[in-house]
Structure formats: C-alpha cells, structure tokens
Amino acid sequence: MALPTLKQGAKGGAVQRLQKALTKAGQNVALDGDFGPGTDRAVRAFQAAHGLGVDGVVGPGTWAALGVGGAHAAGNGGGDGGKCTLSIKGAAFIAHFEGLKLNLYNDPVGHATIGVGHLVHKGPINGSEPAEFRKGISRERAFELLQQDARTAADEIAGSVKVKLNQQQIDALISFTFNVGTGAFRDSTLLRLLNGGDYGSVPAQLNRWTKASGQTLPGLVTRRKAEGALFRNGTYVS
C-alpha cells in the first residue's frame, strides 16, 4: 500500500514513521506523531539537502528519498512477475528530455497541461482546472504525476521482460517505452535479445530508435545514448 501524502497539521502513526525516518537521516525532530512546525522545518531541510522540491509536503519522492518502503517511487525489479516502478531519479531523467513546467500551459495541440506533459484536460486552459494546478505545483508533485503517467510503460516492462532488472535498468526501459510506446517495446528486437539474457545488446538496440517520420532527430540520438548509459552503467542525466 502506498504511503500517504503528509503536510503540516497531519497527526498519527504515519507522521511518527516520518519523524523516525527524518531522525535516522540526521534531522532533529520530536517523535510525537504531530506534523507541527518542527517537523515541517525538518522536512524542508531534508528536501533541500536531497534536491527535492522544498514545499514541506511529504509525497512519494520524499518518502523514497527517506528510504521508507511502500512509496510509489520504490521500484524493486522485474522479470519475475515483480512490479516495476519509475523512481524519482528516473522521473528526473525523463523530465530532462521531455521538459518540466510547474505552471499550467497549453501543449502544442492546445490541451491544458502541467509538469512533464501531464494532461489536465483536453482543450485550452479555461479556469476549470483543479486549484492545485492553478496555483502551480512543486517539482516533486510534477514527478509524482509523471510516475502515474508512466505506469502503463512500467506495467508493460513488468509483464514483458523475463530477466532480472535493477532499478537503473528499469528506469532506462521505462524512459524508452514511455517515449516510443508499449507496442513498439513489446515487438522490439531489444526485448527479444534482453529476454535471451543479452543485456549487453540493449544500448545498441536503443540507438536504433532515433527517427521520426523517417528523419534522424538529434534530440532522440542524445536521449537514446543517455538511456543506454543508464541501462549499462547506472549513470543518470538530470
């Protein structure tokens, strides 16, 4: 079960779990189960120290950075029926290539959008958007939305890949599948070779997917090389 999103004013066992994790991470906070000003300061200090959005809201990104199990960001491998999930580092990796906007905007075809291409609704911004989006969102919230949007790609990898993957390999394949589509991944030579245990062929296979409308796109060349480095070496670009 996913951990709850917490902010100042929350109380109870989940808050105490948060406080214990913050204490383990070196923050000075009372273990009283009350998300008061002291816990808020500790959360913000932790977020700043770990490159997260500093908003005092404990969502999947902050839980994951704290190393607490149960957050959406905790990927645990695939290939054996296990669940694949995009990590926060993986979300930042995709955002590097897809772009990140923390305020509402109309996408190229005129749909209300926010974050890393998250569709709010079809049609242009019209004032009907949720208040959360009208006020703008944090970087962490944008990555949380991206993790949700990447769920289909992650589920495809979990179902199609028959060999063990570490989190960096999962993130690389989710980035690729999120970009090219689940059907393309499912029918790819890359998947066939990987399922045969040929991990070493994956970067070269990724490099084959650099064209759109028959034209090689420099942005896709760069992205595929970065995905290959992430799969092979665990090197994130963000």
**Residues annotated as part of the active site:** 98
HSE, side-chain direction, 13 A CA sphere, residue 181: 3
β-partners of residue 118 are 114
* CA atoms 226, 85, 139, 168: torsion sign: negative
Task: Note the helical H segments in 84-217.
Answer: 88-98, 131-134, 139-149, 151-160, 167-180, 182-186, 189-195, 202-206
Q: What is the longest distance spanned by two Cα atoms in the chain?
A: 61
Of 141, 106, 140, nearest in space to 121 by CA: 106
> Which structure tokens are listed for 40?
């808020």
Closest CA to 157 of 136, 171, 140, 143: 171
Contact at 8 Å (CB) between 144 and 59? yes
Pairing between β-strand 215-216 and β-strand 211-212 as defined by DSSP bridges? antiparallel
